[in-house]
């Protein structure tokens, strides 16, 4: 038993060299392909399926070509973010929720991390859309921070310690609106600081990040994110590093600002409580795939996937007394060698006959509620299987 | 069992200040009042939860109770024995009885020791078991904590967060302690792993009759695991009661705000959130009077001057707030206020931005 366990992570020198060679070959090819698409706007402009959405993820596959093999961090993920709505993305660490958002921002650590398949369509508002996967860097620069912006988890490290707060907020406006005068930029920054609830805005403008507490720094990060009134705000665990009382302040602020600016929010979190209070739609991810998606009511009142059910039962809730918390047995499968059946099968307590077959398809069980589980095979309409990309064939 | 024997740990008016030194002459120019007069007791086999925002002194409190740092004043009695009165050798003998589980399982395990040695090092040092039984003992402890025996020769880097936390718990448990301080043991873990660790802690408590001081900022976890809860704000305890009591009827305005901020995983739950303004003031320069008065919705004139007394508002439910003052305490507080007004003492506190 012991030796068997040891061997599972062992890679011989020969194998390691083969992986490196393969990675180099494939990432070069992908980079070249991307550069070709980027030369001509026709290569990266496309149409939205539904113009009511800001972003559509369509079978997105983001793989990391690592030294131990190909890690399928995001593998056939599809969901939409409607205009003016909040979509909560829930899952445990390592389930691919952050990588999805990084793919959208094109902030993946290239060349190792590559979006190898699928489309990410971003609505430009004038009837056309960009396919972010093929968009070249110089075009992305006008989207990042301007049309899509991001709030990170750690307000302590997201700000630059050697620049004053004012300069850091100014920077975004100067970059995207070079025509604005210095005074106008400063006025805009002060307006943003006021918007995020900073009373002493003139004072804070001249401060350094270390003079502020975590909650205030997160407000600054939000001000930076909102400086250009983006149509989508990606909030990657915006309150995980904060206290509950400060968390309540920040969530309240985000909700208000969203309504004011009519932006959409993609809220990435592992806290189901935060999602319930904030989101209109919820996407539950597990091991790089979407296992369930629907409106917040669907997910919280009628959770369908065994993983969602387990996740809800394993969190203690104030006011509900239980003797023992439910815990999902086992752990997430190794990302390098994903099984060819349902990824959750080995931890699932509700297995049925089909579970050892191929990965379950997306099944529509109500107008808004979609789940990937064989238990609903006969009850709903089968929409299709998530598509992996065969890396050997690239 | 009589009342005093029943209490495993008693903390009386514990104070821990960290001096702020001037840059040149190293004179003390002020104090960070991390823990500023805290009293509570924990019964044998029970869990007390200690909650509060970051920077309120919960962790300092836990570390001072274990004498990992010296106190400024006050007493800590474990089994009726004052742990600050012990000399080095006596304290060393007492160490196995009180253990600590840290927050971050990634930095609290030595990367250079195999798991068996991490767990066994202190066992050997304190001669918990005879040499020939050592191996079997470690295996047994690991088995209890849900770690397979073959992990013994492996190093911590190969483990996930949940398993590392199990190793930390096994390390504490191996010394057969009576009292364990759990300093945010689950906040670095995923939800499903959190449940595993909480269940493990509860199971161990049942099996070995352990007593926990459970420090956390996650109020739902604290409700689940604790028998009694103490709420801290800026170095002082503002409320203490049994879990059911404090969650159903929080008295102190700070506790009310704290509990109302808990996100509830139900989209239809409409709770009246009390959103506190600003953030926690600096413990080096805390506000006068009630420390919470700068953010409190019920702030009265007297709150700015007089420190509220620690009163038993209901049987077993303690609270420090002028809203619940008895007539006696009220008179005393207003007297203090009058005196301070006469002397023109500056009130308020500097808020940290």
Peptide bond into A36 cis (omega under 30): no
8 Å CB contact of A213 and B54: no
- The rounded percent of chain A whose pLDDT value lies above 90 is 40
pLDDT at A323 over 60: yes
Closest Cα in chain A, distance from residue B353 (Å): 5
Confidence of residue B4 (pLDDT cuts 50, 70, 90): low
Closest Cα in chain A, distance from residue B323 (Å): 22
- ipTM score: 0.79
Smallest Cβ–Cβ distance between A326 and the set B195, B259, B262 belongs to B195
End-to-end CA distance of chain A: 37
pLDDT at A12 over 70: yes
Contacts of B217 in chain A (CB under 8 A): 243-244
Contacts of B267 in chain A (CB under 8 A): 276-277, 296-297, 300-301
Q: Are the beta carbons of B72 and B15 closer than 8 angstroms? A: yes
Closest CA to A60 of A119, A127, A134: A119
Residue A8 confidence (pLDDT): 58
Q: What angle do CA B149, B153, B158 make, to 5 degrees?
A: 95
Q: State the DSSP string of B30-99.
A: EEEEEEEEEEEEEETT-EEEEE--TTSSHHHHHHHHTTSS--SEEEEEETTEETTS--HHHHHHHGGGEE
**φ and ψ at B218, to 5 degrees?**
-90, 105
Query: Stretch A7-22: mean pLDDT, rounded?
Result: 83
SS3 at position A370: strand
Smallest Cβ–Cβ distance between B258 and the set A245, A310, A312 belongs to A245
8 Å CB contact of A322 and B224: yes
SS3 content of chain A, % helix, strand, coil (to 5): 40, 20, 40
Closest CA to B225 of B254, B203, B246, B257: B203
pLDDT at A3 over 50: no
Q: State the DSSP string of B198-237.
A: HHHHHHHHHHH--EEEEE-S-HHHHHHH-SEEEEEETTEE
Closest Cα in chain A, distance from residue B198 (Å): 8
Q: Are the beta carbons of A99 and A71 closer than 8 angstroms? A: no
Query: Stretch A122-135: mean pLDDT, rounded?
Result: 89
Locate the DSSP E strands across chain A: 45-46, 53-66, 69-82, 86-90, 113-123, 129-131, 148-151, 232-236, 264-269, 281-286, 289-295, 362-364, 370-371, 381-384
Higher pLDDT, A352 or A17: A17
Q: State the DSSP string of B265-329.
A: S-TT---------S-PPPTTSPPSSSTTTTT-TT--TGGGTSPPP-EEEETTEEE--GGG--HHH
Give me the total of CB pairs closer than 8 Å, taking one residue from chain A and one from chain B.
Answer: 129
Q: Kindly provide the b/e burial profile for residues B35-60, where b requires at least 16 CB atoms within 10 angstroms of the residue's own CB.
A: bbbbbbbbbbbbbbbbbbbbbbbbbb
8 Å CB contact of B198 and A315: no
Q: Are the beta carbons of A165 and A203 closer than 8 angstroms? A: no
What's the burial of B285, exposed, middle or buried (CB within 10 Å: 0-12/13-18/19+)?
middle
Neighbouring C-beta atoms of residue A127, cutoff 10 Å: 9
Q: Are the beta carbons of A86 and A267 closer than 8 angstroms? A: yes
Contacts of A1 in chain B (CB under 8 A): 150
Contacting residues for A171 by C-beta, under 8 A, at least 6 apart: none
Closest CA to B227 of B103, B77, B44, B52: B44
**φ and ψ at B39, to 5 degrees?**
-130, 135
Q: Are the beta carbons of A291 and A268 closer than 8 angstroms? A: no
Least confident of A137-151, B22-36, B126-140, B248-262: B22-36
Q: Are the beta carbons of B103 and B164 closer than 8 angstroms? A: no
Closest Cα in chain A, distance from residue B185 (Å): 15
8 Å CB contact of A216 and B162: no
DSSP bridge partners of A267: A88, A235
Confidence of residue A370 (pLDDT cuts 50, 70, 90): very high
Find tokens 């004498």 and name the residue.
B67
Closest Cα in chain A, distance from residue B179 (Å): 22
Residues 73-92 of B with CB under 8 A from A: none
Smallest Cβ–Cβ distance between A244 and the set B150, B258, B353 belongs to B258
Cα distance between residue A96 and residue A89, in whole Å: 10
Query: Stretch A370-381: mean pLDDT, rounded?
Result: 88
Confidence of residue B240 (pLDDT cuts 50, 70, 90): very high
Whole-number Cα distances in Å, A253 to A192, A198, B8: 12, 11, 45
Q: Are the beta carbons of A69 and A15 closer than 8 angstroms? A: no
Closest CA to B239 of B317, B326, B325: B317
Higher pLDDT, B247 or A243: B247
Contacts of A331 in chain B (CB under 8 A): 160, 162
The pairing of strands B7-21 and B28-43 is antiparallel
SS3 at position A231: coil
Least confident of A339-348, A360-369, B171-180, B261-270: B261-270
Residue B65 confidence (pLDDT): 93
8 Å CB contact of B192 and A246: no
8 Å CB contact of B259 and A300: no
Confidence of residue A28 (pLDDT cuts 50, 70, 90): very high
Residue A371 confidence (pLDDT): 93
Query: Stretch B73-88: mean pLDDT, rounded?
Result: 91
Closest CA to B276 of B292, B291, B265, B300: B292
SS3 at position A329: coil
Residues 182-201 of B with CB under 8 A from A: 190-196, 198-199
Look at chain B and count its residues: 353
Q: Are the beta carbons of B180 and B212 closer than 8 angstroms? A: yes
Whole-number Cα distances in Å, A266 to A175, A269, B126: 24, 10, 53
8 Å CB contact of B267 and A274: no
B271: nearest CA partner in chain A = A277
Q: Are the beta carbons of A292 and A311 closer than 8 angstroms? A: no
8 Å CB contact of B53 and A243: yes
B29: contact with A, CB 8 A cutoff: no
Closest Cα in chain A, distance from residue B327 (Å): 32
Residue A286 confidence (pLDDT): 92
B333: contact with A, CB 8 A cutoff: no
Residue B165's H or E segment, with its range, is helix B161-173
Find tokens 């190969």 and name the residue.
B158
Phi-psi region of A206 (alpha: psi -120 to 50; beta: other; left: phi over 0): alpha
**pLDDT, tens digit, for every residue of B322-346?**
998 888 888 888 888 888 888 877 7
């Amino acid at each position: 038993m012991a030796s068997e366990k040891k061997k599972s992570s062992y890679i011989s020198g020969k194998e390691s060299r083969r992986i490196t060679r393969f990675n180099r070959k494939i990432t070069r090819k992908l980079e070249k392909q991307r550069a070709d698409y980027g030369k001509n706007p026709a290569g990266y402009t496309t149409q939205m399926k539904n113009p009511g959405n800001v972003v559509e993820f369509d079978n997105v596959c983001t793989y990391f070509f690592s030294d131990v093999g190909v890690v399928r961090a995001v593998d056939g993920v599809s969901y939409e973010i409607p205009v003016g709505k909040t979509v909560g993305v829930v899952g445990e660490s390592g389930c691919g929720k952050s990588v999805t958002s990084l793919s959208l921002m094109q902030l993946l650590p290239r060349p190792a991390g590559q979006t190898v398949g699928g489309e990410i369509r971003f609505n430009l508002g004038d009837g056309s859309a960009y396919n972010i996967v093929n968009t070249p860097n110089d075009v992305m620069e006008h989207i990042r921070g301007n049309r899509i912006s991001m709030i990170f988890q750690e307000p302590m490290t997201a700000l630059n310690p050697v620049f004053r707060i004012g300069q850091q907020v100014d920077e975004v406006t100067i970059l995207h609106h070079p025509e604005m005068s210095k005074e106008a930029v400063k006025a805009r920054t002060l307006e943003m600081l006021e918007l995020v609830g900073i009373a002493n805005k003139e004072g804070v403008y001249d401060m350094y990040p270390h003079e502020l507490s975590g909650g205030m720094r997160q407000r600054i990060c939000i001000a930076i994110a909102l400086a250009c009134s983006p149509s989508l705000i990606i909030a990657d665990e915006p309150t995980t590093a904060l206290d509950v009382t400060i968390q309540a302040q920040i969530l309240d602020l985000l909700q208000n600002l969203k309504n004011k600016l009519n932006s959409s929010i993609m809220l990435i979190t592992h806290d189901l409580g935060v999602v319930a209070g904030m989101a209109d739609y919820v996407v539950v991810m597990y091991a790089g795939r979407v296992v369930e998606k629907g409106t917040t009511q669907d997910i919280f009142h009628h959770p369908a996937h065994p993983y969602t059910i387990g996740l809800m039962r394993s969190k203690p809730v104030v006011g509900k007394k239980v003797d023992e918390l439910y815990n999902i047995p086992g752990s997430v499968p190794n990302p390098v060698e994903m099984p060819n059946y349902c990824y959750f099968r080995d931890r699932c307590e509700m297995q049925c006959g089909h579970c050892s077959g191929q990965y379950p398809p997306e099944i529509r069980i109500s107008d808004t509620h979609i789940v990937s589980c064989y238990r609903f095979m006969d009850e709903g309409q089968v929409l299709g299987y998530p598509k992996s990309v065969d890396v050997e064939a690239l | 069992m009589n009342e005093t024997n029943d209490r495993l740990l008693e903390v009386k008016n514990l104070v821990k200040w960290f001096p702020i030194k001037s840059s040149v002459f190293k004179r003390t120019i002020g104090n960070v009042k991390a823990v500023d007069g805290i009293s509570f007791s924990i019964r044998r086999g029970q869990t007390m939860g200690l909650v509060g925002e970051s920077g309120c002194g919960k962790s300092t409190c836990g570390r001072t109770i274990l004498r990992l740092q010296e106190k400024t004043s006050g007493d800590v009695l474990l089994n009726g024995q004052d742990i600050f009165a012990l000399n080095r050798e006596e304290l060393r003998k007492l160490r196995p009885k009180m253990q600590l589980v840290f927050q971050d399982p990634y930095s609290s395990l030595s990367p250079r020791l195999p798991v068996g040695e991490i767990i066994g090092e202190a066992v050997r040092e304190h001669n918990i078991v005879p040499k020939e039984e050592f191996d079997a003992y470690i295996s047994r402890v690991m088995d209890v904590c849900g770690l397979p025996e073959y992990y013994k020769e492996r190093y911590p880097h190969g483990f996930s967060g949940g398993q590392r936390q199990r190793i930390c718990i096994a390390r504490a448990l191996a010394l057969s302690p009576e009292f364990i301080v759990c300093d945010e043991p689950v906040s670095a873990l995923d939800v499903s792993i959190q449940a595993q660790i909480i269940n493990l802690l509860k199971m161990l408590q049942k099996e070995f009759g352990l007593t926990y001081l459970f420090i956390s900022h996650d109020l739902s976890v604290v409700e689940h695991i604790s028998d009694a809860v103490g709420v801290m704000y800026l170095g002082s305890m503002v409320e203490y009661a049994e879990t059911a009591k404090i969650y159903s009827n929080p008295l102190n305005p700070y506790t009310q705000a704290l509990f109302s901020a808990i996100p509830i995983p139900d989209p239809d739950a409409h709770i009246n959130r009390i959103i506190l303004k600003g953030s926690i003031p600096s413990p080096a320069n805390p506000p006068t009077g009630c420390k919470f008065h700068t953010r409190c919705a019920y702030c009265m004139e007297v709150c700015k001057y007089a420190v509220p007394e620690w009163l038993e508002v209901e049987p077993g439910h303690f609270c420090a707030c002028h809203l619940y003052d008895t007539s006696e305490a009220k008179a005393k507080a207003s007297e203090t206020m009058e005196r301070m007004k006469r002397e023109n003492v500056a009130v308020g506190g500097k808020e940290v931005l």
